[in-house]
Amino acid sequence: MKIVKLIILLFSFFFSTSYAYSCNFNFKSFGSSPDKESSNFPKLQLKDKQNNIIVTTPIENFCLEEDLQGTAVTLLYIDNGLAKITIERHNFNDRNILKHAILQFGDFKRSKAIEDYKWTGSHFWNLNFQVVGYVAVHNSINKFEKIELTSTLYSKKIINDATTLEK
CA distances (Å), 142 to each of 69, 92, 146, in order?
18, 9, 13
Q: Which of 21-35, 56-70, 130-144 has the lowest mean pLDDT?
A: 21-35
- Kindly give, in sequence order, each residue whose CB lies less than 8 Å from that of residue 119, ignoring residues fewer than 6 positions away: 95, 98, 110, 111, 136, 138
Above 70 in pLDDT, residue 29?
Answer: yes
pLDDT confidence of residue 40? 66
Neighbours of 108 (CB within 10 A): 13
The count of structural domains within the chain is 1
Cα within 13 Å of Cα(42), Cβ side:
1
Q: Which of 83-92, 110-119, 123-132, 149-158 has the lowest mean pLDDT?
A: 110-119
pLDDT confidence of residue 35? 73
- Kindly give, in sequence order, each residue whose CB lies less than 8 Å from that of residue 35, ignoring residues fewer than 6 positions away: none
Range of the domain at 45: 2-166
pLDDT confidence of residue 9? 40
Average pLDDT over all residues of the chain: 81
Above 50 in pLDDT, residue 50?
Answer: yes
Is the distance from CB of 16 to CB of 103 less than 8 angstroms?
no
Report which listed range, 15-19, 23-27, 90-94, 143-147, is most confident.
143-147
Above 70 in pLDDT, residue 144?
Answer: yes
Q: Which residue has the higher pLDDT, 30 or 11?
A: 30
* SS3 sequence of the chain: CHHHHHHHHHHHHHHHHHHHCCCCCCCCCCCCCHHHCCCCCCCEEEECCCCCEEEEEEHHHCCCCHHHCCCEEEEEEECCEEEEEEEEEECCCCCHHHHHHHHHHCCCCCCCCCCHHHCCEEEEEEECCEEEEEEEEECCCCEEEEEEEEECCCHHHHHHHHHHHHC
- Write down the pTM of the prediction: 0.79
**pLDDT-derived band of residue 140, with 50, 70 and 90 as boundaries?**
confident
pLDDT confidence of residue 16? 37
pLDDT confidence of residue 5? 42
